[in-house]
A and B are shown apart, each in its own frame.
Chain A
Amino acid sequence: MKEENCEILENVLLSENTYRMTLRQQEENFPRPGMFFALSLPSFFLRRPFSLMDHHDSFFTFVYKVVGKGTKAMSEMRAGTSLNALLGLGNGYDLSKSGDHPLLIGGGSGIGVMVDLARFLLKEGKHPLVAVGFNRKVEIYAEEELRKMSLSYRLFTVDGSAGEKGFPTLALSSPHDYVYACGPFPLLKAIALTDPVPGQFSLERRMGCGYGCCMGCTIETKHGPRRVCKDGPVFEKEDLLW
């Protein structure tokens, strides 16, 4: 973990209520995909945790949806503004466990993480299939990034207004030897209860601190209580309870 004042390099509307922000960092703070950071916003007490869609030595990019006052304030921030952030939080995905043909399933706000993870897996010589799900066409983002990469890609919308109609869990019928997922609880649960292959899930929880002090985000697992922020946010699929 490192505290840094990060300058906003870009903050743009991607799709309905969904924005992409790019922040400057002095050096790479995210050695593994699936790690996160916590942003301090002027006049809000708690930090906001976000996972990354992309990162390089000198900057990182993430996608956020406007859901409350904090994210609303973020959507109005301009490039050049500096925000205090705690960088390099959480455990991140363990790529060594992946088979050659991993399936990556992302839903809603969890799709950005899958973009970052896919990039890492491609570097490792894996052949990922990425399945993403949105409610409606107007919510779609990250399509360009995913289409640019040499991977298999399936787009789903619940109402069928773009891509295939239905949930991205339909991709579970495609051949795969490992599953990575990030998204709403019902999506993760559906994967866990229907797919027999091993995998890792990244969880989202309301957090207090983001670094293991307050026990605000604890979940029960097969091995006892675990803090999503410090022991996670990535957990072995087999260790989670539904």
Chain B
Amino acid sequence: MVNTKISLCGQILDNPIIAAAGTFHYGYEMASLYDINMLGSFSCKGTTLEPRFGNPSPRIAEAKDGVIISIGLENPGVDAVISTEFPRLQKVYHKKIFANCCGFSPEEFAEVAYRMDQADVVGFLEINISCPNVKGASRFSCDPALAKEVTRLVKARCHKPVFVKLSPNVTDIVSIALACEEGGADGISLINCIHAMRIDLKSRKPVLALKKGGLSGPAIFPIALRMVYDVSHAVHVPVIGIGGIETPEDVLEMMMAGASAVEVGAMNLVDPYIGKKLVLGLPEAMERYGISDLSSIIGVA
């Protein structure tokens, strides 16, 4: 018997598999496919203070081994999420989620996080300073001072562990991670998607209505792995590795790079059962590589 449990800020997860924000909606619809309680956790759709429709269409473009997305944080607003979506979720899910909080000012981040902090089903706050597809929302992930300020304001108003989700679209991701740690972050999650675009040869125009979006999927795994490695060696708080995870072996590799847990994103969009497959496949992969306790491989590389 192998041990897949991991500890995150004093909370024990049954396994490190977390569905990433924006690829799992608010969870309850996926519960008709498999028991989502088998996941370590999941991060809910990025949520803002006010309802948002998001960006114009097309907001999806395909890439080799990945997808470029430009949704623009469509969500019904934090109050509707807490009053409508969470009760639906709690009928089918008894674990804790990551509340993915978004905003357009440090105060809005803090307000969304404060309201999410009160919700029973929320175990962790994931402060998404890195959405690449909303004008003005990603500047918090590019400036260490702003990233620290957002983190500090959120921490001042919340009790639950705060993870700050970082953008790869920066020169030095380590400096941003360190700033968040100084601001009081309990953990760092990375990476959000990578700025990207496609052009339609027939129309000679960008495929996406807003021209550019964020690339995710297996194509970005080695980039994410490198950034997780760099950040986890610099900070003293736990790191969640995100980016292109597709197989149990990818989970192990990401943890060896320094991640305490992983989030699975783009693969949820092509294989609705990927979470289940990873959870069920992980023990066998651990045995194959002689790993009895998953925690023992964190950052060994």
Interface residues, chain A, with chain B CB atoms under 8 Å away: 1, 3, 40, 44-47, 86, 205-209, 211-220, 225, 230
When the two chains form their complex, are residues A220 and B58 in contact, meaning their CB atoms are under 8 A apart? no
CA distance A86 to B74 in the complex (A): 25
When the two chains form their complex, are residues B67 and A46 in contact, meaning their CB atoms are under 8 A apart? yes
Min CB gap A242→B, angstroms: 15
CA distance A219 to B59 in the complex (A): 11
Q: Given the interface contacts A1-B33, A45-B63, A208-B67, does A217 sit within 8 Å of B57 by beta carbon?
A: yes
Q: Given the interface contacts A45-B65, A218-B74, does A213 sit within 8 Å of B54 by beta carbon?
A: no
Min CB gap B150→A, angstroms: 24
Chain B contacts for A40, CB-based, 8 A: 270
B245 CB–A CB distance under 8 Å: no
CA distance A215 to B21 in the complex (A): 12
Interface residues, chain B, with chain A CB atoms under 8 Å away: 22-25, 29-30, 32-33, 45, 53-54, 57-60, 62-67, 69, 71, 74, 217-218, 266, 268-273
Chain A contacts for B58, CB-based, 8 A: 206
Min CB gap A49→B, angstroms: 11
Min CB gap A122→B, angstroms: 32
Chain B contacts for A225, CB-based, 8 A: 53-54, 74
Closest to B58 in A: A206
Q: List 18 A-B contacts (CB under 8 A).
A: A1-B33, A3-B273, A44-B62, A45-B64, A45-B67, A46-B62, A86-B272, A206-B58, A208-B269, A209-B269, A212-B25, A213-B24, A213-B25, A213-B29, A213-B268, A214-B23, A214-B69, A217-B60
When the two chains form their complex, are residues B45 and A46 in contact, meaning their CB atoms are under 8 A apart? no
When the two chains form their complex, are residues A212 and B268 in contact, meaning their CB atoms are under 8 A apart? no
Chain A contacts for B63, CB-based, 8 A: 45
Majority SS at the chain B contact face: loop
CA distance A214 to B214 in the complex (A): 13
Partner of B60, one of A3, A44, A206: A206
Closest to B269 in A: A209
Closest to B61 in A: A206
**Additional A-B contact list (8), CB under 8 Å, known A1-B272, A208-B60:** A3-B271, A46-B269, A209-B23, A213-B30, A213-B272, A217-B60, A218-B74, A230-B29
When the two chains form their complex, are residues B60 and A214 in contact, meaning their CB atoms are under 8 A apart? yes
CA distance A214 to B217 in the complex (A): 13
CA distance A44 to B64 in the complex (A): 7
Chain A contacts for B32, CB-based, 8 A: 1
When the two chains form their complex, are residues A207 and B60 in contact, meaning their CB atoms are under 8 A apart? yes
Residue among B24, B58, B69, B270 with max Cβ neighbours from chain A (10 Å): B270
CA distance A93 to B72 in the complex (A): 30
Q: Given the interface contacts A207-B60, A230-B29, does A45 sit within 8 Å of B217 by beta carbon?
A: yes
Min CB gap A186→B, angstroms: 16
Chain A contacts for B273, CB-based, 8 A: 3
Closest to B29 in A: A212
Min CB gap A227→B, angstroms: 9
Closest to A84 in B: B271
CA distance A205 to B212 in the complex (A): 19
CA distance A63 to B218 in the complex (A): 31
When the two chains form their complex, are residues A209 and B272 in contact, meaning their CB atoms are under 8 A apart? yes
When the two chains form their complex, are residues B59 and A45 in contact, meaning their CB atoms are under 8 A apart? no
Min CB gap A188→B, angstroms: 15
Q: Given the interface contacts A45-B65, A46-B269, A225-B74, does A214 sit within 8 Å of B22 by beta carbon?
A: yes
When the two chains form their complex, are residues A215 and B45 in contact, meaning their CB atoms are under 8 A apart? yes
Chain A contacts for B53, CB-based, 8 A: 218, 220, 225
Partner of A45, one of B25, B33, B45, B66: B66
CA distance A3 to B266 in the complex (A): 18
CA distance A208 to B272 in the complex (A): 12
Min CB gap B15→A, angstroms: 21
Chain B contacts for A220, CB-based, 8 A: 53
When the two chains form their complex, are residues B54 and A215 in contact, meaning their CB atoms are under 8 A apart? yes
CA distance A209 to B217 in the complex (A): 13
Min CB gap B16→A, angstroms: 21
Closest to A67 in B: B202
When the two chains form their complex, are residues A216 and B71 in contact, meaning their CB atoms are under 8 A apart? yes
CA distance A220 to B29 in the complex (A): 21
When the two chains form their complex, are residues A213 and B23 in contact, meaning their CB atoms are under 8 A apart? yes
Chain A contacts for B45, CB-based, 8 A: 215
Min CB gap B212→A, angstroms: 15
Min CB gap A204→B, angstroms: 11
Chain A contacts for B218, CB-based, 8 A: 45
When the two chains form their complex, are residues B60 and A216 in contact, meaning their CB atoms are under 8 A apart? yes
When the two chains form their complex, are residues B269 and A213 in contact, meaning their CB atoms are under 8 A apart? yes
When the two chains form their complex, are residues A215 and B74 in contact, meaning their CB atoms are under 8 A apart? yes
Chain A contacts for B272, CB-based, 8 A: 1, 3, 86, 209, 211, 213
Chain B contacts for A1, CB-based, 8 A: 32-33, 272
For the complex of A and B, list the 6 residue pairs with the smallest distance between their C-beta atoms, beginning with the closest.
Answer: A216-B60, A209-B269, A208-B60, A215-B74, A206-B58, A46-B62
Min CB gap B58→A, angstroms: 5
Chain A contacts for B66, CB-based, 8 A: 45
